[in-house]
Each structure stands twice: as C-alpha cells, then as structure tokens.
Structure 1
Amino acid sequence: MLKQRFISGIVLFVIAFLAVWFDEPLPWLTIGVTWWGVMALREFNHVVAQVKAQPFIVIGTVATVLFIASPHVEDSLPPLLTGFAVISLLYLLKPGDRTQAFIRWGWTLAGVIYIGWLLSFIVALRGLDGGREWVLFALAVTVASDTFAYLIGRATGKHKMAPSISPGKSWEGAVAGAIAAIAIAMILKPVLDLPSSYIALGLLGLAASAIGQAGDLIESLFKRNMAVKDSGNSIPGHGGFMDRMDSVVFAAILVYYYVVLFAQ
C-alpha cells in the first residue's frame, strides 16, 4: 500500500506540474482540473445515491464544468450561480416521482459547490500575476504536509486528533505536516522567486497545512456520514478523486486570497 501510494503520488505530482507550468496551446490546468472535478462529482453522486438520494447528474455535471472554467470569463460567477439555481429548481417540476425532489436538489447543489466552485479557485489562482508559481507553491506545500502527516502519524501517532471522524489522524502527524509545510514554503521562495518574505511564506505554509488538514477532516466526515471508507478506488494507494482533492482545494483557496490581498 505504501509503495502504491508513493508511486501514484509521484505520477500525479508530475502530471500536475506539467499542467500548471504549460498553458499553451491549451489551458492544460483548466482541462485537468475540469476532468478531475467531473470524476470527483461522479464519485460524490455514487456515494450519495447509495444512502440518500440520487442527485441530478446531468445538471450537476454541466454546472461543475462551468464553475471550474468560470475564472476564464470575467464576472461570470453571479449569472452562472443564478442560472444553475433557477434551472435546477425548474427541473423539479418535470413529470415523475417528486417525493425526494428537494433532497435530490439539495445534494446536487452540495456537489456542485463543494467540487465545482471550490476547484475553480485553482484555475483562478493560476490566472493571477505569477499564478503559475503560486499554484505550484500550494501544491508542493499540501503534498509535503499530507506526506509527512501520514508517515509520522502512522509511525508515532498516539494522540488522536479527531477519533470520531478519522481515527487514523494524530496530533503528532499534524505537527509533522505543519513543520514540513513551513520548510517547503521557505525553500520555494528563492526557487520560485515568490514576492513575499520568508516569514510571510512560512506563516502561509503553516496556515495552508492547517486548513488543508481541516479539509481532509471534512472529507472524512462526509465519508463517515455516508458510511464509506473511501469515495472510490481509482488511484492506487490513495482512494478516489475526492480523497485527493480535499486538502489541495482548501490550501489553494487560502493561497488565492493571500495573493489577492497581500501579494499583488
């Protein structure tokens, strides 16, 4: 399992690096994130359908794709959100069994917001000045945090962080992940020529590790509520697409707002 996890992680990071670095002749990062979002939404719908109610697959998938791509069109979010809300509500009136109509609508909305809207921040971050470097920063800090939290937590973790949500996560692992994130953040300053001080980047790395691990707990809470261990098994050693997006998405959102507010 550990060998599979390592190999899969390396392959994913290399693909992500290439997609972030090159944006011609096509916006490869947007294409990759969109594909990832569609696959993650598919897992989300499958899990929810087993224990709750089947979300609206077509409407949810189209909305997810549009949300992820929305940063390419200025001021597209308000009309997109309005259109999705109106169309999905009108869809409730179609002939057929309507006993779970609003439950299905609610889960459709949840999937689009959690996956489509949040993933769009990775695309939005790439579109900022110096966005290529900042996306790589967010990815590297998250990978370092997740990797060391997993390894150290597995080897020495005795004090459980949230046993009712994720019994495998420990405070020892969380601290190790935070230290790794700070170290990588400061190493990347000269490597990526980031326009922030070492102290600021160290604090950003710490915050990204913390919010990334919180995002991982949110994903664990979702799976526990759905009574599943993993959202899927598409990625050897890692589970499904949803399992690998939680911490990255939350860290990318944090980095996005840091860049917008303090680094531009």
Structure 2
Amino acid sequence: MRTIKQVSDLTGISVRMLHYYDKIGLLKPSSVTEAGYRLYGDNSLETLQQILFFKELDIPLKNMKEILESSQYDKVQMLHKQKELLSLKRDRLNELIALIEKKLKGGSAMSFKEFDMSEYFNVLETFKQEHENEVVKYYGSIEEFGKIIETMKSKELEGAKMAIKQFGSIEKYTEAIKNNLNNLPLIMDGFQTIKENADVYMAQTDQLMERLTSDLSKNHSSPDIQEIVKEMDDMVKGHSKIVKMDMGENYWGMMADLYLTKCTKVHDKKYGKGATKFIGEALKFYSENTK
C-alpha cells in the first residue's frame, strides 16, 4: 500500500488532483485508515496508470470514468488502443522534432502558417467533447474518434495541401467540416442510402471509367472525353446532394492530383497501360477549364 503522498511523488499527479479523482469517483483509494488517510494498492495504481494514458490522449475525465465503469471495458484491449493512439501522437511529435532539428542546423525558413490545421483540429476536439452521443453512435467510441483525429494530425501537412487544393484554403475547409458536423445525422443517413445502392453506383462508375479509357490514344482534352468527365461530375454532385456534404470548389483538381501522384497502377491493370495518367490528366483539364 502507498500513501497519497507516495502516489503523488511516483506519478507526478498532485495530491489535490488525486483528492479530486476520489471525489468524482474516477479513482478510489484501496482503503482509508481510521485517521482518514487514503491508501492505494496495486489495483488502484493500475487504474491510475490507465488514467495517465488517457490524459496523454486528451480524453476528458468524464469520458475516462465512463470507459472504466463500462461493462464492456477490457483492460488489455484498452491498452492496445492506447498504444496505437500514443504511437500516432509519437510519430507526429517526432516529425516536429525533426523539423526543429533541421531549423537549428540552418534549414529552410519556410513558413507553415498557410498549412496550419490547428483550428480544424479544434473543431473536431470540440465536437468530440460536446457531442459524445453522436460520436459514439456514428464512430463507435470516443477512442475511435480520437484515433481518427490523431491519424489526421500525423499527416497534417499532407492533409493541409489536399484541403487547400480542394477547398481553396484551410479556413474554407474548416468551415465545411463545421457544417458537416452540424448536419452529421443527415449526412450519415445519406451515406446509408449510398451504401444501400452501392452496387448500382459502382456499376455506373465502372461504366463511365470504361468509356473514359476505351481509347487511350485520344487527347484527354477532347470534347468527347470531357463530356464523360462531366457525367462523372454530375454523378458525384448527385451523391453529394444525397449525403449533403460540401465537396469543395476544386474536388476534381484534388482527384486529378491523386491519380497523377498518389494512385497505384490498379487502373492501368484494369483499363490498360497509361490509364491512370490519362484519367488524371482528363480530370485536371476538366477542373482547370470548368467553372
């Protein structure tokens, strides 16, 4: 058994905070002496360890209590989840440390203000804390939603570039996510409609892709090719109306970049050598010449 002072010294958590944990029922001592001194055994210390992991992931105390008291709580499974989330956070911190080291060695003085996603992540964190029921309903748990946020943070620069490409600025992207979260039930209903008709939509997409790549010797900017891309645009706009999501002012420019720089050669295998590049160039031309 350890006294509250010993636990405080061991963990770095103040005695006052440990008193508060006891008050709200988050961490009860193993026993209390006749003189009123709190004593903590191994089980209490293991729970406190879980709390420390949650704190590193910015999980609110209220959510910690709900998780620890849940009938579905599994300590080992939770440790695996915490490890995964902390690993994502570690990777992000390592990237920042590497950037600092580069700066200290006289590296480029590039400004990242344009790519700052802080406000975007603040919107997600606020939603996580203020709309717990919706988070659990649509994402499974607070932890799973936190994992999504940490994953995006670990790829912040890449995500920022894509957001700017698709929406024009981080500010517009952030405003779009605010609107999406405010309409989350409607959006999720829309996704369910899309899912229920997935076979039909997939068949339509395949048909358009086959037409688009039927003759790769054509010029990607030719009227007949661009007419097919317009049909693809109309289909996506129809889907976005169903899910009630803002796709951004340059959705096809973003998609073109993916085909030209990120996509694998799956389309080459399916539609012929050079198909991936052809699709990307056709989408790029459409995005640059259609207002």
TM-score by length of 2: 0.26
- Kindly indicate whether structure 1 or structure 2 has the higher relative contact order, using CA contacts under 8 Å at least 6 residues apart: 1
